[in-house]
Structure 1
Amino acid sequence: MSYVDEVYDRVVKQNPGEAEFHQAVKEVLDSLRLVIDANEEKYRKLGLLERIVEPERIISFRVPWVDDQGNVQVNKGYRVQFNSAIGPYKGGLRLHPSVNQGILKFLGFEQVFKNSLTGLPIGGGKGGSNFDPKGKSDREVMAFCQSFMTELSKYIGADQDVPAGDIGVGAREIGFLYGQYKRLTGLYEGVLTGKGLNYGGSLVRTQATGYGLVYILDEMLKHNGKDLKGKSVVISGSGNVAIYAAEKAEQLGAVVVALSDSSGYIYDKDGINLDLVKEIKEVRRGRIKEYTDVVKTAVFTEGKGIWTIPCDIALPCATQNELDLEDAKTLKKNGCFAVAEGANMPSTREATDFFLENEMYFMPGKAANAGGVATSALEMSQNSQRLSWTFEEVDEKLHQIMVNIYQKAADAAERYGVKGNYVAGANIAGFEKVVDAMMAQGIV
């Protein structure tokens, strides 16, 4: 049995019931076979794969808080500190009922390679809770965040672990978390990113993941003789990533015709009115269906099915495993030639394989959605230097980082004889940097 297969079997055996984590590890290790097989003796002797698939630390804790009726509620809180070989742990906090240890291990594992690709000195981590902020009052969210941070504050710091936002954690939640961290530690430091602009936040952070996704998509298309201008785009989701991917795609001349949320999707053949979507989702915190109350020519369809809409380019920006093999086949049949992932692992393994086998241009999430964490790291830099850069300065740095990520993935794929396979390229490029750092630091 090969070293890769041995380590994967070990992961499955030692982490039962964590399907998403198994999936992420298998996808990465399979695409790294070329590198690992060439260095098997050295890697095996150093236990490198065993170390890279095992988090350095997992913190699990209870989060008690009082609701508006005076009742005590209890949620589970986690922080998975996966790998700090190239810098302090960096990765979001997710508040959603689906959060469990296995989901966070998958996200933390992916984050290690994503952060490595940015070229910035940040390791990988992830955290969160099964608390659902939807339908909660501001006071309830504050009570939860203060309780959560009371425990988490013992394990994080500007040079140790710097969490950010993720699903369910926006400006409101970051503010409450940061306020409690300061109260507990007496420190005013860059320990959280995604902060408000008036207390250490960075311009472009809200737009960063969506903008970065389109920057790397544009780079991939250019290098393959294609262009975004005039192309039809379907985007799943309607949160920050989807909204700002749509905004940047439209700025570059594409036509975004569909967006979705957990209730269903809207199709507007004339192109989505983003100002209206922002009003519904960011101001009113409403449902995407409300779009059709204003735009009568748009159509809302309940449930899944957004990938049945014909398009040139698909950008899955909602959640893991939202796009399966049948969706991939439908996209191809309807003329889609490029897919770039705004969410973390939104395409199943079978869908990813289909894209590659059918020579569609496919950019995986760890490369395509790295703009968010890259801009978080830029926020850390500004905090350390007590500086504040302009929107244009941060946007230009973000654009250059995404261009560099494309180049790293493309170069690594070509070096190992799989030109155009950006899945393998991104994994190899991210892996090489982390492994070199781990070997240099000895057995830690």
Structure 2
Amino acid sequence: MRWKTLVTTTVATAIATFAVATPNVTPADATTQLSQAKAEAAQLTAQISKLDQQAQAAMNTYDQLQLKLATTKSQIATLQGQIVRREADVARLKAKVASEAVNIFTQAGASSSVISIAKGTPNDAAIIQTDVTAATANQEAAVAAYVTAKQALELQQASLRSAMSDLATQSAQAQSAAQAAQNAQAQAQAQLASVNSQIQQLVAQQLAAEQAAQAQAAAAAAQREAAALAAAQAQQARAAQDSAPTPAVVVSPSGGSAPAPTPTSPSGYVNPLADTQILQVERIDQGVDYLCNGPITALGAGRIVSTYEGGWPNGVFLDYQLTSGPAAGDYVYVAEDVVPTVAVGQAVSAGQQIATCFPGSDGIETGWAAPGGIGEAYAGYAGQWNNSNSTAFGLNFSQLLSALGAPGGIVYGPVVGSLPAGWPGW
């Protein structure tokens, strides 16, 4: 019988949609990259905080040094004023000494001290010299005291100037350290912004990967549903044919048996192996095995359902649904040592190249595929294959190839299973 086109179209559309929507990043990869980016962001955040503390400490030190500098400058200015006043005092005292000396000379007789001295020593010159010496000594002692005070102030001023120079050097160093910390902080913040942008991208990729995984699961569920529906329809068809005559049985050389459908003309179909340069027939199992090299074509008009399936050698399982001829609606596969030259969803015509086979270690296998494009041979799907036998579906496809001019496969072991009612024979 023919499986409903609506079911297979729905499943194929889901597979094609998933193939387009699946991103390059798997959920596991996205999670790993996201964790690494978050760890890097945390490190940068801690680094920025540390640099901020360093910059703040350097600025505090700078502010304190600036305050000390201002205080020292004020102290120096105060001392400078005091020094100026001491210099003025010294100048006044020196002038006073000179003035008093002149007065003594000019007013010697009027001074009581002079009269007192004159009574003991009538020498006027000696009296005048004694008064001058006494007055001068007193004034010069005062001048010396002022000079000493001025020198002390100047030493203090020099010490403050030296301290101010040291403070200026330390202040410049603190300012440089603060600037360096701020520059490093700005660089870390730029790196953090880049990492945060990367995290946003990774989150989007992770979400896309999860959505793709959900789409894949939905597609797989749709495939299983379609397969279950097809199996139920096949069972209903067989039940409807219970009263029909039992078809004849074809016995394989090893004693196995498979039903022999009524021969049908393969009208509209062509030999898919006609263009190969090397073609060596091998056994019949789930399909027909060959060793070949060269182009493989579509045996009839159809639509590509899948090209790859990881469970097969080399990961290749090219599956297409026939849209014309006696087997319209059924699926054909070519697998193993082949390279697809078509894409999923592509429409093909009879005789159009769909793949290139190469003489690898596995050879190729071609036959009837399970309904719904689920990446499995019909014989395996129907439970006919136990890894050491020919199958009814494999034998039927071998007969079709023979009818189209290709060499049929070699039967080995029992031919296990039967074909659904209404399946075309060749």
Could you say which structure has the larger radius of gyration? Answer: 2
Q: TM-score range by the shorter chain?
A: under 0.3
Name the structure, 1 or 2, with higher relative contact order (CA <8 Å, separation 6+): 2
Q: Larger helix proportion, structure 1 or 2?
A: 2
TM-score (norm 1): 0.21
